[in-house]
């Protein structure tokens, strides 16, 4: 009877019980989404994420959340404290991908809430504006096997503390701006399978300790400001499949020991300063399919490219000579070398005409030439000339008779007597000349001080590390007392002089005008800021002089002058091809992006134009004439009280509101990009259709398409489909409304994707090469037709995707 009465009671209890109980992980996820002001996924219903199979959530056998993927969810702000409750997490992905269908995450601040997740093995925050130094909290996650912080605006010194993450298999830190030496401690991460550190500011040699990473399959160190020789030890990387070292300044030979990398399929060494002969081992490495050695200083003959596994080989723009090699591979490029008669070398991207038999190189630190052909001579203290052809030897008889021997002995004795007398006379003359030289230098110094009313005193503030403080006397001597024959230009700071220092180093010396209103403390701030700006596409500060009222900045000397000269001066001897123009555009964009996004404080250039873009020996673009006097106050107020810019490149919003922001630089870049495409000047009264290049290009594009505006000097082989997209980008940058212009980071992303259309990405999955997201996520189909009706729409889709990925990531105001 009791059992009968108990049954209805139990049924009533079941009805009153809730269908599911709240779980701590579910509560934490709801709280996190709320803290980020984001909209939860549509199927996040109920209280138990494991029972309801929430989108982006996976659970372990204990019904704890072990996997969380919230990519492209519009998460804004710091990682909330509720994250610590998810202590069973193994995989956390809050990154962004190039996707215009969803809102982008914008995670900022410290990562302390993540550091307590002791079970975490995979962390991906790529394309979030973390900004600042490498997050130390990440170094506490000793169980990590996969760490991805690409495109996060990280600066400061590259962390040696990564050694604590000894379990790492995948490390992706590309497209940040961390600097300092590449730490040898990386060699202790022996579990690494993929390592991507591209586009850093190391300014160091590549560490041979990377050869200890014997499990490595993928290595990407392109555009990292690395120099010195290629480590012979890399031959130990027997599992390496792909290696990118392009865009650095490596010198010396390509080691033969690298032939031991039998699994290597792709090798990219272009745009360095490598010397020595063609590495014949690449023809016999059975898995190697793609090799790029273009834009180096390689010389000598090249064997025929036959019976090889290679599919693609590019050796363009070197100093190879002899007979042009035959090839039976599908893609072989050997243009702009010295094949054939060897009368000249039209290097195109490498600048001007050179004799094929000779080429110059910088002398190494030990005072000798780098690897050269058999003959080499020193032309001055910093440069040697490598002679590609042997000096003819005497083919006559080597036997000497007694009369000849006697003549030689007699001549030798007479020569010794003459040499002894000559030495005495030479010593006397040099002693007198030394005293006279010293007296003249003192006179020059006194004359210079009187000219500028200077005293023998120096400021007592400490110069930034790595920047040399020069005396007035040193710089006066280097420039011939700042003579007119040394004057090479003028900029916003003052006149620019060519100088050669005592050690033979060539420099560009900018002396402030006498009317400069910049005070001593402002100049010190200028030097401090400029000393912290290190990027391949910015002109580097070498030193300064602050003797009393005189303020002088000493920069690296960029030998090939400015872009304006090469584009518009009739006798410049330079007509760029379409690929070089695209390369220059990418360089300018990367330099400006660094100033806007990674400089601390951010820098507005204010006067982006071709004459402020210098070209080095390899025609790499370097942005010049920027500084702190153009930034700090304007970043606080958004208002400039000083005229800025040059007619044709000035932001029209500046005229209306006197507001100067990073968008003003974007406008100037858009005009420069149009000049590169069209070969025409920003303002040209002789252009009857429209004096203003931007308006002229818009009209021409509508009526004639890209072929109506492209520079005739490169029309024959220019890929119109690609240049159509680049033109759309330029016009977007030069939009009248500043809010319609992309950020420079978005511009870089678009140009990178365009460049990838020229060199298709690897066929491997995105998961295998996530460092190439920009190239692989957006699928753009190339059209053969010159007038592609969808060209503008395709470009707008690309720009929209780039905008979404970087939305509000730049710390600078618009």
Residue numbers in the known binding site for ATP are: 510
From residue 267, how far is each of 222, 302, 334, 618 by CA, in Å? 11, 18, 17, 21
Q: Report the C-alpha gap between 727 and 731 in whole angstroms.
A: 6
SS3 per residue for 740-759: HCCCHHHHHHHHHHHHHHHC
Q: In sequence order, which ranges of 48-188 are alpha helices (DSSP H)? A: 112-115
Q: In sequence order, which ranges of 372-401 are alpha helices (DSSP H)? A: none
At residue 139, what are phi and psi to the nearest 5 degrees?
A: -70, -10
- Tokens 């000349």 appear where? 433
| From 48, 607, 651, 788, the catalytic residue | 607
DSSP state of 157: B
H-helix or E-strand containing 227? strand 226-229
From residue 571, how far is each of 77, 565, 788 by CA, in Å? 55, 9, 36
Structure tokens belonging to residue 344 = 């000249």
Q: Report the C-alpha gap between 588 and 580 in whole angstroms.
A: 12
607 is catalytic: yes
At residue 266, what are phi and psi to the nearest 5 degrees?
A: -140, 130
H-helix or E-strand containing 510? strand 506-512
CB within 8 Å of 411: residues ≥ 6 apart: none
Tell me how long the chain is.
814
- Tokens 């549509």 appear where? 42
Q: In sequence order, which ranges of 601-651 are alpha helices (DSSP H)? A: 632-637
Q: Report the C-alpha gap between 482 and 40 in whole angstroms.
A: 67
Q: Report the C-alpha gap between 274 and 295 in whole angstroms.
A: 9
Structure tokens belonging to residue 741 = 């212009």
Q: How many other CB atoms are there within 10 angstroms of residue 610's CB atom?
A: 22
CB within 8 Å of 676: residues ≥ 6 apart: 567, 576, 581, 582, 584, 585
DSSP state of 196: E
**Cα distance from N-terminal residue to C-terminal residue, the chain:** 81
* 591 neighbors 622 (Cβ within 8 angstroms): yes
* 261 neighbors 213 (Cβ within 8 angstroms): no
Q: Which residues are catalytic?
A: 607
């Amino acid at each position: 009877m009791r059992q009968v009465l108990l049954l209805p009671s139990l049924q009533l209890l079941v009805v009153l019980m809730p269908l599911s109980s709240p779980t701590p992980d579910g509560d934490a996820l709801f709280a996190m989404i709320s803290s980020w002001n984001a909209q939860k996924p549509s199927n996040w219903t109920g209280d138990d994420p494991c029972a309801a199979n929430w989108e982006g959530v996976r659970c372990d056998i204990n019904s704890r959340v072990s996997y969380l993927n919230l990519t492209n969810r519009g998460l804004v702000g710091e990682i909330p404290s509720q994250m610590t409750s998810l202590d069973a997490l193994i995989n956390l992905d809050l990154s962004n991908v190039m996707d215009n269908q969803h809102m982008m995450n914008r995670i900022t601040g410290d990562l302390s809430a993540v550091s307590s997740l002791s079970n975490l093995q995979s962390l991906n925050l790529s394309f979030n504006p973390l900004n600042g130094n490498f997050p130390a909290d990440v170094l506490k996650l000793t169980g990590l096997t996969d760490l991805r912080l690409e495109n996060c605006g990280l600066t400061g010194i590259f962390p040696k503390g990564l050694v604590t993450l000894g379990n790492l298999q995948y490390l992706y830190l590309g497209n940040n701006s961390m600097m300092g030496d590449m730490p040898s401690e990386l060699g202790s991460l022996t579990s690494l399978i993929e390592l991507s550190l591209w586009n850093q500011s190391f300014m160091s040699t590549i560490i041979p300790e990377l050869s200890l990473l014997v499990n490595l399959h993928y290595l990407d160190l392109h555009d990292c400001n690395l120099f010195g020789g290629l480590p012979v030890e890399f031959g130990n990387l027997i599992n390496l499949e792909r290696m990118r070292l392009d865009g650095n300044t490596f010198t010396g030979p390509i080691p033969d020991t690298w032939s031991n990398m039998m699994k290597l399929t792709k090798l990219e060494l272009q745009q360095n300063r490598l010397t020595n002969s063609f590495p014949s081992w690449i023809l016999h490495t059975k898995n190697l399919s793609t090799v790029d050695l273009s834009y180096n200083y390689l010389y000598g003959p090249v064997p025929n490219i036959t019976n090889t596994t290679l599919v693609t080989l590019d050796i363009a723009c070197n100093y190879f000579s002899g007979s042009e090699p035959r090839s039976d591979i599908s893609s072989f490029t050997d243009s702009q070398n010295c094949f054939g008669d060897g009368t000249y070398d039209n290097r195109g991207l490498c600048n001007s005409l050179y004799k094929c038999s000779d080429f110059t190189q910088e002398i190494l630190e030990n005072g000798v030439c780098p690897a050269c052909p058999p003959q080499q001579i020193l032309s001055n203290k910093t440069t040697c000339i490598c002679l590609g052809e042997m000096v003819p030897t005497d083919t006559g008889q080597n036997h000497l008779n007694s009369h000849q021997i006697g003549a030689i002995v007699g001549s030798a004795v007479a020569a010794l007597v003459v040499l002894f007398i000559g030495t005495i006379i030479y010593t006397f003359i040099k002693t007198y000349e030394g005293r006279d030289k010293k007296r003249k230098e003192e006179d020059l110094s006194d004359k210079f001080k009187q000219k500028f009313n200077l005293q023998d005193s120096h400021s007592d503030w400490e110069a930034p590390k790595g920047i040399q403080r020069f005396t007035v006397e040193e710089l006066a001597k280097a420039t011939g007392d700042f003579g007119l024959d040394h004057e090479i230009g003028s900029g916003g700071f003052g006149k620019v002089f060519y100088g050669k220092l005592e050690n033979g180093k060539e420099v560009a010396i900018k002396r402030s005008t006498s009317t400069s209103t910049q005070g001593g403390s402002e100049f010190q701030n200028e030097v401090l800021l400029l000393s912290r700006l290190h990027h391949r596409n910015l002109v580097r500060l070498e030193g300064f002089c602050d003797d009393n009222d005189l303020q002088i900045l000493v920069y690296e000397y960029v030998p090939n002058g400015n872009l304006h000269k090469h584009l518009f001066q009739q006798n410049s001897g330079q007509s760029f091809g379409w690929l070089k123009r695209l390369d220059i555009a990418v360089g300018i964009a990367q330099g400006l992006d660094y100033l806007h996004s990674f400089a601390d404080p951010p820098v507005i250039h204010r006067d982006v134009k071709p004459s402020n873009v210098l070209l080095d020996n390899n025609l790499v673009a370097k942005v010049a004439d920027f500084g702190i006097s153009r930034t700090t106050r304007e970043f606080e107020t958004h208002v400039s009280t000083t005229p800025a810019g040059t007619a044709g490149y000035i932001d029209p919003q500046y005229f209306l509101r006197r507001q100067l922001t990073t968008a003003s630089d974007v406008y100037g870049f858009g005009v420069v990009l149009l000049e590169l495409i069209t070969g025409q000047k920003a303002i040209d009264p002789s252009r009857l259709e429209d004096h203003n290049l931007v308006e002229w290009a818009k009209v021409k594009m509508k009526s004639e398409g890209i072929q109506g505006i492209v520079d005739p000097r490169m029309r024959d082989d220019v890929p119109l489909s690609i240049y159509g997209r680049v033109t759309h980008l330029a016009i977007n940058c030069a939009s009248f409304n500043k809010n319609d212009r992309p950020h420079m980071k978005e511009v870089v992303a678009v140009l990178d994707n365009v460049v990838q259309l020229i060199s298709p990405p690897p066929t491997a999955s995105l998961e295998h090469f996530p460092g190439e997201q920009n190239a692989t996520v957006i699928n753009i189909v190339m059209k053969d037709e010159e007038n592609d009706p969808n060209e503008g729409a395709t470009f707008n889709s690309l720009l929209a995707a780039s905008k979404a990925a970087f939305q509000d990531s730049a710390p600078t105001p618009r």
